[in-house]
Amino acid sequence: MRRLPALAAAALLAIGGQALAQGFGGDRGGTPGEFDFYVLALSWSPAYCEGTGGRRDGDGQCRPGRGLGFVVHGLWPQYARGYPSECSSVVRSPTRQAIEVAGEVYPSEGLARYEWRKHGTCSGLDPTRYFQATKQARLAVTIPDAFRSANEERRAAPIEIARQFVMANKGLRPDMMSVTCKSGRLQEVRICFSKDLRDFTPCPELARQNCRAGEVTIEAAR
């Protein structure tokens, strides 16, 4: 689940969060509420902050001392193949109440607003309910103990990272998730949920996006 279209540098700066590239093609537009399942994308914040994110971070996600590990990148409506995006020509701006809900799960307000425009508008929900759904999905995932602390850099095989998530989350299987990497670094763990967010669900296209590296670096937080 995941993707960042080609944006101008100024637009990227405005995001203020980590809108990382997604793994397979999508279609701009779509009918709000018409999709097959959700993907919850959890980004490894240290990798984002060591890259371009640290240089363009405007909302403090990469501020020294925050020590963030896995953070919510987004909750993405998906088709069995591909995904919709920017499903409304008239985007409803999130209210302050909605942004307060988003602040409970997103590492920055800029990222939350970006995710609403690109993906939330395809959910069929209003901004507050979309961010509440994101929070619900995040609370349904247990981060393995090995990733609760981001104090030390280490290396691990992507299959081992997936195994630890499967062991920590009842009902989760390898065909319901993917581990992604970039330049030999852990990037994200992406987990598929049913449309009602009650269960994990198989997502073959997403599962095929698994990182193929033998091992990846899991960077330490700043």
Looking at the annotation, which residues are catalytic? Answer: 73, 115, 119
d(Cα 203, Cα 218) in Å, to the nearest integer? 25
For the chain, how are helix, strand and coil distributed in percent, rounded to 5? Answer: 30, 20, 50
CA distance 47 to 100: 26
Q: Which H or E run includes 71? A: strand 70-78
- Cα dihedral 6, 213, 142, 130, rounded to 10, equals 10
CA dist 55 to 28, 42, 62, 112, Å?
Answer: 28, 21, 9, 19
Cβ atoms of 191 and 200 within 8 Å: the answer is yes
